[in-house]
Amino acid sequence: MDNPLKGRDLLTLGDLTPKELTHLLDLAVAQKLEWSQGHRTRPLEGKAVALIFMKPSLRTRVSFEVGVNRLGAHPVVLGGTDTVFSRGETIKDSVKVLERYVDCICIRTFAQSMVEEIAHYSSVPVVNMLTDEHHPCQGLADLLTIKERFGRLAGLNFTYVGDGNNMASTYLLAGALSGMNVTIASPAGFEPAEGVMAQAQGIAEETGARLTIASDPKQAVADANVVCTDTWASMGQEDEHEERTQAFADYTVDESLMAAAAPDAVFMHCLPAHRGEEVTDAVMDAPCSIIYDEAENRLHAQKALLSLILG
């Protein structure tokens, strides 16, 4: 297919069509295989990519920096507290300067509205490396991991147990685009954003994905091929830890919850995990846990993404 993603932003998974998502994942599979066979191409030779971090990161920071390098481009890693957006300079001025140096701006920050404002001013593609509302690159990696494991996405049952946070929103869009049925089981008051659910439902009409909001974790995981969770208190919510620990007390993914899922069910977590809170050690370390494949696939999914938008 042509490359309709060239020059495009990725602010949420909702920026992709189902067909574009399939193409991106197929490219990630092909590039991963090529790399494992020793083929070393540098399609982005001579380009530069800004990687701006206004929140901590391990996986995103390393996988983007390594991925940009492997594609032949130059990663410019910027800490948001000591470089850009820190001295009273407007977002507009910072972006209009950055775009004179780099071919792509990737940013991890707090409000989704900030990446939208950056994209508004930027003439180069903008990639969301996590906001409070969305984590599209993690969503791409997770879809790649599930596709590798099951050979397909459409028709699978994916259940996320926990906070209706940026990952829950991302999974609703991921399921809607790929035809994978997604159930989100959250305590009252912690459900995913209604606007994202409505957007995902609209996309799901095209792909046939079933999207469900539930509250009972055991019912929610029945027939699940994938059981997934995330931290109960995301970055910036540390002060709410105690209150959230109480609210989520019945939402720990443990061996008995995994036993209620489909016999071939795998466990996923985007990490970092809080062992003993949202998930037990026994599940994290079980043979059904594919958390490290999931982390590795950040690299491969993002390489495919950057290859397409900067291709």
For the annotated catalytic residues, the residue numbers are: 108, 135, 138, 230, 270, 298
Q: How many whole angstroms from its chain centre is CA 301?
A: 10
Contacts to ligand CP from residues 161-200, by CB under 6 A: none
Q: Which is nearer to ligand CP, 72 or 80 (CB)?
A: 80
Least distance between ligand CP and beta carbon 223 (Å): 27
Contacts to ligand CP from residues 270-299, by CB under 6 A: 270-272
307 counts as binding ligand CP under rule CB under 6 A: no
| Phi and psi, residue 23, nearest 5° | -60, -45
By rule CB under 6 A, what count of residues binds ligand CP?
A: 9
138 counts as binding ligand CP under rule CB under 6 A: yes
58 counts as binding ligand CP under rule CB under 6 A: yes
Residue type, 143: L
Stretch that binds ligand CP, among 20-28, 42-50, 58-66, 95-103 (CB under 6 A): 58-66
Q: Which of 59, 134, 147, 303 binds ligand CP (CB under 6 A)?
A: 59
Least distance between ligand CP and beta carbon 65 (Å): 11
130 counts as binding ligand CP under rule CB under 6 A: yes
Q: Which is nearer to ligand CP, 105 or 130 (CB)?
A: 130
Contact 297, 144 (CB under 8 A): yes
Is residue 126 exposed (0-12), middle (13-18) or buried (19+ Cβ within 10 Å)?
Answer: buried
143 counts as binding ligand CP under rule CB under 6 A: no
CA gap 27, 245 in Å, rounded? 40
60 counts as binding ligand CP under rule CB under 6 A: yes
Q: Which is nearer to ligand CP, 51 or 220 (CB)?
A: 51
Q: Which is nearer to ligand CP, 22 or 170 (CB)?
A: 170
Alpha helices of the chain — where are they, by DSSP H? 18-36, 59-70, 91-98, 112-121, 136-150, 166-178, 194-207, 217-221, 241-247, 255-259, 281-284, 291-309
231 counts as binding ligand CP under rule CB under 6 A: no
Least distance between ligand CP and beta carbon 224 (Å): 21
Residue type, 43: P
Stretch that binds ligand CP, among 53-61, 208-216, 221-229, 246-254 (CB under 6 A): 53-61
Contact 289, 267 (CB under 8 A): yes
Q: Which residue is nearest to ligand CP (CB)?
A: 60
Q: Which of 3, 17, 57, 83 binds ligand CP (CB under 6 A)?
A: 57
Residue 158, SS3? Answer: strand
Per residue, what are the HEC states of 39-90? CCCCCCCCCEEEEEECCCCCHHHHHHHHHHHHCCCEEEEEECCCECECCCCC
Residue type, 249: A
Cis status of the peptide bond prior to 272, with omega within 30 of 0: yes
CA gap 220, 237 in Å, rounded? 26
CA gap 21, 17 in Å, rounded? 6
Least distance between ligand CP and beta carbon 123 (Å): 27
Q: Which is nearer to ligand CP, 41 or 81 (CB)?
A: 81
The pair of structure tokens assigned to 252 is 């720990």
Is residue 281 exposed (0-12), middle (13-18) or buried (19+ Cβ within 10 Å)?
Answer: exposed
Contacts to ligand CP from residues 72-91, by CB under 6 A: none
Give the orientation angle of helix 18-36 with respect to helix 291-309, to 10 degrees: 110
Contacts to ligand CP from residues 246-275, by CB under 6 A: 270-272
Q: Which is nearer to ligand CP, 57 or 212 (CB)?
A: 57
Residues engaged in binding ligand CP (CB under 6 A): 57-60, 130, 138, 270-272
